């Protein structure tokens, strides 16, 4: 596609990258077919191709308004479009650049700014989030009137399981604890640690690590995201030097972010090399388990019906590999057929909070597809999807790793 980016942007790193990405786009429209928002709304401006165009016009010097901002906000960044793009357009990278650029020029209304600030300054910090999470549960009865929707968004409190002792472990791997997951679904990593322990692998979650940075990245604070990345790299680096084999990502949303560290910090001389190494080591939980001998786990499923929702981040981030279905089948579960499994459930990081109408519509469609096969349980591989679906599912929604533990599997 022809481009004419304005001179003041053209030679910046963002401008160069945006130009490179835009030039690859041929405007064929294949991306519209897999875009959840275009499929719902049928408006070119809510399709990847339309958003590319909206971003292009900003790069070419047109002043955006709240309308452009809204259409960019409505994008889930699920990256389904990237999988159908024959020209290799790196849409998500362009969207990040575009959102930043638009947010610099279009001021958001106060309430939007407030929500975004809170998301960045509370949710992204495990302890702060935990505090408000407890507080929320305490005041739950008071969530009425306009605050009532929050009640539905609030996941149940769960009792934390103990981590294994790992006396016999001969190998070590790192695991990202993140921000929301340890509070809202504390047992995902605990389950993973117990299963890895059976396989002779010790999982380590360094205290100093935290949010992967995706939250800030998608809220147009890319420098803040880079800081989160640096913090995690610092926390992991000593272990990596000590021979940790991999960084296990149990939430694919975080995974998609960590595998990008190399790209995010490529221009930071102090971190570029370490970040690239971290991205190399980062792998999805299912990808790592697929390499291990799981036969010792035995038949856990006894033919129970499972509907699997593969998170977009796991399907679409090119560096992550999804082996969940194969592992569950091997463990004796029967996977139901799920229509349109490429479509996003609407969770998409902070999306379900910022775009509740779209998110709920997508969730409704997703649950209809998931429930069509009459499953005993719905599983997914990302805490965001898990919580979002759980709040309306009518069937238990779990992280799939839980199904590999005999105690949990039976429950």
* Interface positions with other proteins (CB under 8 A): 1-4, 23-34, 39, 41-45, 49-51, 53-54, 57, 62, 64-65, 67-68, 84-89
* Closer residue to other proteins, CB minimum distance, 69 or 382: 69
Closer to other proteins by Cβ: residue 63 or 135: 63
Burial of residue 276 (number of CB atoms within 10 Å: 0-12, 13-18, 19+): middle
Nearer Cβ to other proteins, position 70 or 130? 70
Cβ-based nearer residue to other proteins, 49 or 194: 49
Q: How far is the CB of 3 from other proteins (least distance, A)?
A: 7
- Spatial distance between the Cα atoms of 257 and 317, rounded to a whole number of angstroms: 9
Q: Are 211 and 125 in contact (CB under 8 A)?
A: yes
Q: Give the closest residue to 74 by CA, choosing from 56, 98, 57.
A: 98
Minimum CB separation of residue 399 from other proteins in Å reads 29
- By the 10 Å C-beta count (0-12 exposed, 13-18 middle, 19+ buried), 97 is classed as buried
Alpha-carbon distance 389 to 377, whole Å? Answer: 12
**Alpha helices for 160-284 (secondary structure H):** 181-184, 187-198, 214-218, 222-241, 252-258, 261-264, 272-281
Residue pair 203/173 in contact (Cβ under 8 Å)? The answer is yes
| Residue (30 or 237) nearer to other proteins, CB | 30
Secondary structure class of 333 (helix, strand, coil): coil
Least Cβ distance, residue 95 to other proteins (angstroms): 14
Q: Round to whole Å and give the CA distance between 358 and 280.
A: 35
Q: Smallest distance from the beta carbon of 98 to other proteins, in angstroms? A: 13
- Decide whether 352 or 365 has the Cβ nearer to other proteins: 365
Q: Closest separation between CB of residue 337 and other proteins, Å?
A: 10
CA distance 57 to 52: 9
Directed axis angle between helix 13-24 and helix 48-59, to 10°? 140
Q: Which is nearer to other proteins, 57 or 267 (CB)?
A: 57
Residue 16's H or E segment, with its range, is helix 13-24
- Rounded to a whole number of angstroms, the minimum distance from the CB of residue 284 to other proteins is 21
The nearest distance, CB 22 to other proteins, in angstroms, is 9
- Name the residue nearer to other proteins (CB basis): 83 or 198: 83
Closest separation in Å from C-beta 20 to other proteins: 10
């Amino acid at each position: 596609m022809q481009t004419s980016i304005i001179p003041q942007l053209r030679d910046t790193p963002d401008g160069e990258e945006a130009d490179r990405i835009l030039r690859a786009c041929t405007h064929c429209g294949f991306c519209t077919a897999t875009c959840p928002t275009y499929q719902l709304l049928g408006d070119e401006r809510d399709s990847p191709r339309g958003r590319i165009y909206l971003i292009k016009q900003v790069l070419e010097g047109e002043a955006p308004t709240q309308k452009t901002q809204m259409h960019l906000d409505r994008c889930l960044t699920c990256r389904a479009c990237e999988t159908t793009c024959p020209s290799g357009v790196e849409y998500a990278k362009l969207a990040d650049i575009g959102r930043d650029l638009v947010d610099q020029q279009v001021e958001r209304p106060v309430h939007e700014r407030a929500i975004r600030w809170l998301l960045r300054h509370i949710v992204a910090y495990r302890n702060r989030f935990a505090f408000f999470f407890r507080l929320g549960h305490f005041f739950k009865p008071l969530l009425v009137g306009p605050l009532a929707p929050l009640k539905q968004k609030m996941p149940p409190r769960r009792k934390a399981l103990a981590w294994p002792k790992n006396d016999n472990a001969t190998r070590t791997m790192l695991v990202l604890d993140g921000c929301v997951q340890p509070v809202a679904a504390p047992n995902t990593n605990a389950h993973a640690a117990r299963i890895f322990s059976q396989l002779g692998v010790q999982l380590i979650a360094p205290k100093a690590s935290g949010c992967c940075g995706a939250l800030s990245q998608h809220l147009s604070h890319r420098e803040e995201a880079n800081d989160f990345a640096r913090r995690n790299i610092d926390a992991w680096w000593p272990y990596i030097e000590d021979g940790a084999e991999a960084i296990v990502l149990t939430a694919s949303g975080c995974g998609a972010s960590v595998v990008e560290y190399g790209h995010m910090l490529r221009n930071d001389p102090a971190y570029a090399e370490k970040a690239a190494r971290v991205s190399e080591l980062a792998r999805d939980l299912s990808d790592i388990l697929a390499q291990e001998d799981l036969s010792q786990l035995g038949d856990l499923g006894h033919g129970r019906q499972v509907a699997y929702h593969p998170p977009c981040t796991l399907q679409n981030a090119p560096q992550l590999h999804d082996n969940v279905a194969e592992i569950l089948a091997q463990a004796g579960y029967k996977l139901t057929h799920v229509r349109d499994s490429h479509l996003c459930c609407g969770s998409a990081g902070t999306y379900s909070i910022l775009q509740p109408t779209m998110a709920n519509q997508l969730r409704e469609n997703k649950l209809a597809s998931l429930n069509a096969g009459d499953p005993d349980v719905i599983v997914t591989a990302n805490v965001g999807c898990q919580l979002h679906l759980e709040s309306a599912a009518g069937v238990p929604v779990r992280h799939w790793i839980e199904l590999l533990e005999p105690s949990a599997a039976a429950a």
